A and B are shown apart, each in its own frame.
Chain A
C-alpha cells in the first residue's frame, strides 16, 4: 500500500536520458484514494501491452513489485492494455520525445 501523500507513477527516471527517449510509464493500482491521491494497492501480477496507432502489438511488460511499468516508444498515438486477473483496461495516449508520459491507472 502506498503511503498517503506519496506521488504515484512509474519507476524512477534516474540514469535515463529522457531527452532522447519517448518514455511511457506508470503504475497500476487497485481502486482507492486518500485526499484525492490514488493510493490503492499496487497490482503486482498485471501485464501492460503497448499497441501502435493501428492496434498492432508493439511490446508488453509485467508490472513490477511496485505495480509499475515502462516503455521506450516513439512519438505518436498509442494504446495501453492493462490485464490482471479479472480485469482489463484500455487507455489511449499520445507520447512525445523528451516529455515522459507518467500515468496512474486504476483497475
Chain B
C-alpha cells in the first residue's frame, strides 16, 4: 500500500490503453457520463445496479462479485485501473470494494475524469468487448469495513472522521449540494467525530496532494493515526476516498470505511447526535 502501488497518472493510463493485463473501469455517480464518452477501452460498472445488492442494503455477495468480474473479462491477475467523475468519489468506493474482496492489483487514476478532461485528452464512445473469465474472489475483508455497532462503540475512544462538507457536518445541509436537500434522516454528525472534508486531500484539479501535505491534514486536525480510525460520509463513497488517502497513500493499516454512513447512523433510534461546527 503506497502511492506507487495504488495510484497511476493520466500519462501511465495513456501508455497502457491497449495493455492486455490492464482493465480500465469507469465508475460514476452520474451514470450517464460513460455513454457520453470514456477513456478508450474502458468498461463501466454502475454503482447501484452492479455494486449494490438491490434487495437488502449491502455490498453484492462474493458470488455476484465473481460473476460481475468474470463477465467483465477481469482476471485475478488483472491490473484494474479505476477512474470516474466527481473527483473519483465512486471510483474510490469501487477501489475499496475490490480490496474488500481481495483483488491483488487495483489502482486509481489520479484526478479521474476531471484531470483527463482538463488535459483535453480524448474520450471515445465505443464500448469494448472483453472475453469472459472465471474470477475467484476472496472472503470479505472486514478489517477495512466498519459496521454501526462498532461506530457507536468508537464514540469517544477511536478516531471518527466525518469527511462530509462543513455544512453537512454542522447540520445545515442534509446531502451534498449537487443533490436535492430531501434526506429523510435527521441532520448532524456522530459525537466526537472530527470534520476533515475529503476535499482537503485533493488539489483543485482532483489529483491528490503530496504525502507530507496529506499527513499534516489529519495530524493538524488532531487525529492520532496510531489509533484506530473510522471514516464516514453520507453513503460511504466520499469516505472511501478518505479511506484511500489514509490506507493506500499513507499506508495507515487500522482504517475502516463505514459505508452505512450518515444515511444509516442518522436513521438509528436512540443514538447520540451532535450538531454545530
Cross-chain contact B181 with A58 (CB below 8 angstroms): no
Please tell me which stretch of A27-35, A70-78, A99-107 contacts chain B, meaning at least 4 of its Cβ atoms lie within 8 angstroms of it: A70-78
Cβ proximity bits A46-90 to B, threshold 8 Å, 1 near / 0 not: 010110101011111110010000111110000001011100000
CB distance from A17 to the nearest CB of B (A): 9
Q: Which residues of B contact A61 (CB under 8 A)?
A: 86, 178
Cross-chain contact B165 with A57 (CB below 8 angstroms): yes
CB distance from A79 to the nearest CB of B (A): 12
Please tell me which stretch of B55-63, B116-124, B252-260, B266-274 contacts chain A, meaning at least 4 of its Cβ atoms lie within 8 angstroms of it: B116-124
CB distance from B182 to the nearest CB of A (A): 8
Other-chain contact of B178, A54, A70, A74, A84 (Cβ < 8 Å): A70
In the assembled complex, the Cα of A47 lies from the Cα of B199 at a distance in Å of 15
CB distance from B245 to the nearest CB of A (A): 15
Other-chain contact of A59, B33, B36, B165, B172 (Cβ < 8 Å): B165
B114 close to A (CB within 8 Å): yes
Interface SS of chain B: loop
Cross-chain contact A73 with B177 (CB below 8 angstroms): yes
CB distance from B45 to the nearest CB of A (A): 19
B220 close to A (CB within 8 Å): no
Cross-chain contact B117 with A54 (CB below 8 angstroms): no
In the assembled complex, the Cα of A63 lies from the Cα of B115 at a distance in Å of 15
B85 close to A (CB within 8 Å): yes
In the assembled complex, the Cα of A47 lies from the Cα of B86 at a distance in Å of 9
Cross-chain contact B117 with A45 (CB below 8 angstroms): yes
Q: Which residues of A contact B181 (CB under 8 A)?
A: 20-22, 72, 74
A16 close to B (CB within 8 Å): yes
Cross-chain contact A72 with B117 (CB below 8 angstroms): no
Cross-chain contact B165 with A21 (CB below 8 angstroms): no
Cross-chain contact A72 with B165 (CB below 8 angstroms): no
Q: Which residues of B contact A84 (CB under 8 A)?
A: 118
Cross-chain contact A58 with B167 (CB below 8 angstroms): yes
In the assembled complex, the Cα of A47 lies from the Cα of B114 at a distance in Å of 8
Q: How many residues of B contact A (CB 8 A)?
A: 28
CB distance from A95 to the nearest CB of B (A): 10
Known contacts being A65-B36, A85-B118, A85-B119, is A60 close to B166, with CB within 8 Å?
Answer: no
Cβ proximity bits B117-134 to A, threshold 8 Å, 1 near / 0 not: 111100000000000000
Q: Which residues of A contact B119 (CB under 8 A)?
A: 85
Q: Which residues of A contact B212 (CB under 8 A)?
A: none
Q: Which residues of B contact A59 (CB under 8 A)?
A: 165, 176-178
In the complex formed, the residue of A with least CB distance to B166 is A56
In the complex formed, the residue of A with least CB distance to B277 is A54
Q: Tell which of A21, A22, A73 has the most Cβ of chain B within 10 Å.
A: A73
Q: Which of A7-39 contact B (CB under 8 A)?
A: 16, 20-22
B213 close to A (CB within 8 Å): no
Q: Which residues of A contact B176 (CB under 8 A)?
A: 58-59
CB distance from B266 to the nearest CB of A (A): 17
In the complex formed, the residue of A with least CB distance to B173 is A74
In the assembled complex, the Cα of A60 lies from the Cα of B205 at a distance in Å of 11
Given A58-B166, A73-B177, A84-B118, 6 more pairs with CB closer than 8 A: A16-B180, A47-B118, A56-B165, A60-B86, A62-B30, A74-B172
- 15 A–B contacts from the bound complex (CB under 8 Å): A16-B180, A50-B177, A52-B166, A56-B165, A58-B173, A62-B85, A62-B86, A70-B178, A72-B181, A73-B177, A74-B167, A74-B177, A74-B181, A85-B118, A85-B120
